[in-house]
Every structure is written in C-alpha cells, then in structure tokens.
Amino acid sequence: PLCPAVLCARARCSKCPKSWRLLAGRKREHIRSFRRTPEYLAFIRAYRGFVGDVIARVVGEEVAFQVPPTLRIHLPGARPLGKPHRDCEYPGHTGDEINFWLPITRACGNNSLFVESSPGAGDFRPLDLEYGECFRFDGENCAHYTVANDTGQARVSLDFRVIPASLYRDDFGGRIGSYPCELSSKRGSNDTPSVEASDAELLPSVGASDADV
C-alpha cells in the first residue's frame, strides 16, 4: 500500500503479503515516497488550513503545531496501539502542549482512545465521538491508551500537539516531542512539507508512540 499507516494497521492484526513485508523493512523510503504524492500534499494543505482556521481560534491565539499529524488506523481484531502513557514521559515535551484527537470515523468503545479526566484520576473512559468532532485534552499529564479493537469497526484518526505561540520556545530544534512543528502565523498553503521521517515514525510498528505517517 502507498500509505505507511495502512501497512502498519494490517501488520498488527494479520500476516502481510511478502511484498508488504519488504516495505516494512524500508520504512524511511516508504514514507518518502508517500510524501511526494499529490494526495499527501493536498492533505497537508488541508491540515494546515484546519489548524490556522479552527484550532488557533479554539486556543485563542496562533500556535506552534505538529506537522504532519499522526494518522492511526485501528482495524477490528487489532491489538492495542502503543501502551498506556503520558507524553511527558518522553523527551522534548515542555509542559505547555495541548493534545487534539480527531477521529475521521465513528469512535466509541474499544475502538477509541481511553483518557483519564485529570492527571492521576485513573477514571479512564473511551472517547465517544462522531465524524466532525475533535477532543482537546492534556495529553502531557493525563494518561491515555487504547485496547484491542473488538468492536468490528475500524477506526481512523488523527492526533497532533500544539503549543500557544506566546508560550512556545524552540528548545528542541523545531520539534514538539519527536515531531517536527511549525507556526500557524507563518503557514503557507503552498509550502512543501518535508518528506523525511521523524524519529518517532521510524520506531517499530508497535512502539510506544506508534507514529504511522
């Protein structure tokens, strides 16, 4: 498949064809090829517009935001994506981040993301969201995780992190955690995104961050 997230999703729940397994061993090249496609470039243009027109307004100011967002596909029968964690457990997080979780399909029950209501509360609930809804939360300090998808319904979602521009300090080489970022105030719809993979994206397919695209 052209999209690396599709390969990762299939690998979690079934044996892949031999040609797919060859791609898995060439993850950096696979991501580069995908990011040169017109479809990916159109996706990034739409994403930048969404952050500038919607997310910055929700936050109340311009933001530094993760580019690209992380695309995750959770197929029926698939084991959990990653492990329970708080983003602050990984390097490169500042304490000023806001997480957004945006399902592109219906998300509920065991195909969704489980999040506690406040740091250390332990009252985990799966998010129940329709297409067109987005969830904002403190992913740096609130634990979150997924479970095996026994719902019979695939879930496709985007997640990304932003920092209010007034709080942003470029202490990590233009990154939020392991992810490249840019400022919404400097965005340009025709800017060409990098085709290079971030460190998080080169982790094994079922790693802690499990960054697929």
Rounded CA-CA distance 126/114 in Å is 4
Q: Which two tokens stand for residue 162?
A: 């932003």
Q: Report whether pLDDT(213) > 50.
A: no
Q: Report whether pLDDT(107) > 70.
A: yes
Average pLDDT over residues 51-66: 97
Q: Report whether pLDDT(176) > 60.
A: yes
What pLDDT, on a 0 to 100 scale, did the predictor assign at position 210?
39
Helix (H) or strand (E) holding 137: strand 135-137
pTM (whole model) above 0.95: no
Determine contact, residues 176/67, Cβ cutoff 8 Å: no
* Phi and psi at residue 147, to the nearest 5°: -125, 175
The pLDDT-based confidence of 109 (bands split at 50, 70, 90) is very high
More confident of the two residues 211 and 81: 81
Minimum mean pLDDT range among 68-77, 134-143, 190-199:
190-199
Determine contact, residues 24/16, Cβ cutoff 8 Å: yes
Query: What's the full length of the chain, in residues?
Result: 213
What pLDDT, on a 0 to 100 scale, did the predictor assign at position 51?
97
Over residues 8-31, the pLDDT tens digits come to 887 777 767 777 666 666 778 888
Return the SS3 of 6: helix
Average pLDDT over residues 48-52: 96
The pLDDT-based confidence of 207 (bands split at 50, 70, 90) is very low
Rounded CA-CA distance 109/128 in Å is 7
Q: Which two tokens stand for residue 29?
A: 């090249």
Q: Which residue has the tokens 């040609």?
A: 19
Helix (H) or strand (E) holding 45: helix 38-50
